[in-house]
Amino acid sequence: MKRTIPLLITAIGGFILIIAYFIPATQTWGEVAAIWFDVLASIAFILGGGNLIKIHFKNVVERNYGWAYSIITLLAFFITLFVGLTKLGVNPSIQYPEFSWSGHYRENGSPFWWIFEYAFKPLTATMFAMLAFYISSAAFRAFRAKNVEAILLLGTAFIILLGRTFAGVYLTSWFPDWMSGLKIENLTVYIMSVFNTAGNRAIMIGIALGIASTSLKVLLGVDRSYLGSGED
């Protein structure tokens, strides 16, 4: 039953959403299923928060490797949760001025807004900025002219990088008008709008086909990996 009931819920919910999308008369079914999805997602958030507390609290108690980071994670979690749930520092709304909690939790100037703008956003930007170093390392390993494909990749990347800078524009600025198509900035636009678009569309088609096949496997009960390990 522990595996059969989740399979039935997944199959019924998935097929209801598919039917509601293609048959307008059953659109209300999809709306009801979406509401239940929001309810289940809220419960999943609670379980996820509890699991986060459990894992990091265990790391702190047992003094595992990186337990100091676990303390920071727990403090940030509890502070953000407290500020968000209590709507600390939020002004009452115009519609309900008699209720101090009636304002929006992300009101400009509120503590939760401050945490989001001056803590979460900078940390997110820092994390993505650090990816540049890993991308540079991967590019250094990939951009080696060992074969024809690598040469094409290296040449295309070199043109696009130059075309995004003033140096690329300056190098080909002396080209006459009848050779304007060979200017690096124009070559960059052509590569991004033609070859890059074609590649992106091919990738998106492949992703869509993969999602469709995986979804059917999940709905029909063929793929049960989301249920975890164990026998039926």
- With helix as H, strand as E and coil as C, how does the chain read? CCCHHHHHHHHHHHHHHHHHHHCHHHHHHHHHHHHHHHHHHHHHHHHHHHHHHHHHHHHHHHCCCCHHHHHHHHHHHHHHHHHHHHCCCCCCCCCCCCCCCCCCCCCCCCHHHHHHHHHHHHHHHHHHHHHHHHHHHHHHHHCCCCCHHHHHHHHHHHHHHHHCCHHHHHHCCCCCHHHHHHCHHHHHHHHHHHHHHHHHHHHHHHHHHHHHHHHHHHHCCCCCHHHCCCCC
pLDDT, position 69:
93
Distance separating alpha carbons of residues 176 and 136, to the nearest angstrom: 35
End-to-end CA distance of the chain: 8
Comparing 65-79, 99-113, 202-216, the range with the smallest average pLDDT is 99-113
**Range with the largest mean pLDDT of 12-21, 160-169, 177-186:** 12-21
13, pLDDT greater than 50: yes
Distance separating alpha carbons of residues 212 and 204, to the nearest angstrom: 12
Contact predicate 20/26, CB 8 Å: yes
Distance separating alpha carbons of residues 220 and 8, to the nearest angstrom: 9
Exposure of 17 by Cβ count < 10 A (0-12 exposed, 13-18 middle, 19+ buried)?
middle
Per-residue pLDDT tens digits for 170-187: 888 888 888 877 888 888
230, pLDDT greater than 80: no
Per-residue pLDDT tens digits for 26-50: 888 888 888 988 898 889 899 999 9
pLDDT (mean) for 127-148: 77
232, pLDDT greater than 50: no
- The domain locations on the chain are 143-225
Count CB-CB contacts under 10 A for residue 113.
Answer: 17
- The pTM (predicted TM-score) of the whole model is 0.62
pLDDT, position 218:
84
